[in-house]
Amino acid sequence: MPVDIPTVKKIASLARIAITEEEAARIAPELDNIMGWIEQLSEVDTTGVAPMTAVIPNHLRLRDDVVTDGAVRDAVLANAPQAEHGFFTVPKVIE
């Protein structure tokens, strides 16, 4: 299925990446070329094959339900582009 300009705009919107018309026009044939190459995977018969979920057998560990971290609010907020009164701040969200 060809990746066209409307598709690129939709993907970019889903990925929250602003793109211009020119960028969409440039990216569409690139992605179309890559997806066309990837298309060869459809020729592999995978009937009855389980999708890989873990490359190395491992088991999920449980840990005691205790606090192991925290009380570092100011250190965390120090990296925020904008923080006030101990919170991350964002532009006003109008419903």
Interface contacts to other proteins, rule CB under 8 A: 3, 7-8, 11-19, 27, 30-31, 33-35, 37-38, 40-42, 44, 46, 49-56, 58, 60-61, 63, 72, 75-76, 78-82, 88, 90-94
Residue 62 in tokens: 């449980």
Provide the 8-state DSSP code for 94. Answer: -
Residue type, 26: R
In the complex, the smallest distance separating the C-beta of residue 65 from other proteins, rounded to whole angstroms, is 14
- Between CA 51 and CA 69 the distance in angstroms is 35
Bridge-based pairing of strands 87-88 and 83-84 is antiparallel
Min dist CB 25 to other proteins, Å, is 14
Looking at beta carbons only, is 86 or 91 nearer to other proteins? Answer: 91
